[in-house]
Amino acid sequence: MASTNFDLAPPSTNVDGLAATPIDIRRITARLVFDGASSSATGDATLEFVVGPDGGCPIFDLRQTVTAAWLDGNPLTPAQVAQHNFGGGPGAELRVVDTALAAGSAHTLRLTYGLGAPQASTVGSYLPALTWSAGPRLRLSFGFTDLGPGRYLEAWAPANLIFDQFELELDLEILNTPVEHTPITNGAVTPLGGNHWSVAFPPSTTALSPLLELRATDTVTSQTDTTVLPVSGTTVTIEAWKLKASTVDLGDQIDNLRVWLAANETSTGRYLHGSRFVAFVHQGGMEYDGGTTSSPGSLQHETFHSWYARGLKPASQNDAWWDEAWTVYNDSGASGFDPFDSTDPEVELSPRNPWRRITPSASYSSGERFFEGVAADIGVAALVSHMSAFYNERNARPATTADLEAFLVSRSGSARLVDAFHRFVYGLPDPSPVPDLGIRDDPADPGSNVWAGTFWNSPDLWIRNADDAGTAHQPVESGQDNWFHARVRNRSAGAVARHFLVTFNVKPFLGTEFSYPDDFLPSITAAAGFDLRPGWSGALGGSHSSSPGRESAGPGGRAAASQ
């Protein structure tokens, strides 16, 4: 089975008697047909997908009314792909296919549906729209938002939660109108005839990636120019669009975009979206992969999101706080610092409920404040450098809040950041009593903090050469990724470890004793854990790429800053 993002997906769960399980969508093809004679529209979409490692009933979403369905060519009733409440809050329901499928098996799901205003949240300043006016003239606006559930691709075509990456192809056709229309999109457009287009999106696409507006050509105007980005050397064509009635000067906006695109690549890393940037300068403020729909006042903010948010993407809505927070921090010049105050109230930016589908509104203010606290702890320049490194090293797939925490602690060597994440990101109070976590030094270690036996033969530390579930140690393979694992034990009588972090380090020399923190922080990698009950143990892991020809000693792990 090809590589998937199942490790980023919510867990399989029982809902309404169904063993609901995540799927990996490989490809979505959707034909959307708009009929000017009846002012109506229909959709016909097919998902090609693989079932998760647990097997069960596939989870997906669509915020339109299903009229027919087929699984592998066999008909289903609309009731067999109904919505179910997973406990993610109002409007966060998901559809489940009422058929259990084998783990790792490949399938197709075809759906037909009437196309209209999405059955989803109506928050936001730029709403999704499918309307007709004289001509007839169509206006289709995808109108995504992070602030309400069901407002990504699933508003218009069947899709997955945002952990998943897939190819997407939209076939768009407008019938029974003499009026010429134009697609405004960050996808690759191929004309198929009059008012008929194919729009393709790459395999890195997630449900929050595609920008699409369909507008009558006589209602919009555009201007294009190019810029050469300073780090990658890529020549990027800037496409700026507006309504014809707008007074916005597109030339001025393109000049601004040149400056911002160059500054973002210099501060953060390579532009990941090919050779185009598309801006519909209209109203609202929403980011897409290499594009935005935005008012002029929000345009700089939304442009940076093509790095943080739609370059490096959040793995879930519980992780979407950091892209907003870091973008707001950059809006303010990426220079603010304000030490954390441990007496301040807890702030929950990253809830632990995996079915939540809304980015917390506090992400903008409290999130920026969090990064100011990190800057005060490790230094502004160091924070900016680490966030650039996080972007460049992790942008191939979506990232979690725990990934960010582990990265910042490993790079900075500041164990204090674990407390900061605990209180001001996960929203957890200081524990009382404090849990007692440990890793055995050797098989005979009873778990005491000081052990007179060997410390280099721990049964609770091992390395694997592949990202698998193996529990037997393997020698480090030079020149490739290797995976560190640690088994952490909660030795407390009654304290749950709500949140903790394990750091992993490798010393290129033999030693008889290593001391904390100097030999443990900064570290090669780290991994966060949650909700470890008294008397239980849990395995955590992190990866590290060993340089060719370098010999490494055994791993060292520590619950470096546990809560």
The string of pLDDT tens digits covering residues 412-438 is: 999 999 999 999 999 999 988 899 998
Using N-to-C axis directions, what is the helix angle for 401-412 and 365-378, rounded to 10°? 20
- The SS3 of residue 264 is helix
Mean pLDDT of 182-197: 98
pTM: 0.94
Mean pLDDT of 453-480: 87
**Is pLDDT of 516 > 70?**
yes
**Is pLDDT of 563 > 90?**
no
Mean pLDDT of 232-255: 98
In this predicted structure, what is the pLDDT of residue 543?
A: 59
Q: Are 338 and 72 in contact (CB under 8 A)?
A: no
In this predicted structure, what is the pLDDT of residue 3?
A: 60
In this predicted structure, what is the pLDDT of residue 511?
A: 67
Mean pLDDT of 199-219: 98
Pairing of strands 137-141, 212-216: antiparallel
In this predicted structure, what is the pLDDT of residue 445?
A: 86
Using N-to-C axis directions, what is the helix angle for 416-424 and 365-378, rounded to 10°? 170
CATH 2.60.40.1730 fits 6-125+145-179, yes or no: yes
In this predicted structure, what is the pLDDT of residue 546?
A: 36
* d(C-alpha 481, C-alpha 550), whole Å: 13
**Is pLDDT of 521 > 50?**
yes
**Is pLDDT of 553 > 50?**
no
How distant, in Å, are the alpha carbons of 130, 295, 375, 522, 523 from that of 412? 49, 37, 11, 6, 9
Q: What percent of the chain lies above the pLDDT cut of 90?
A: 82
Beta carbons within 8 Å of 122's beta carbon, 6+ residues apart: 148
Domain residue ranges in the chain: 6-125+145-179, 317-399, 437-558
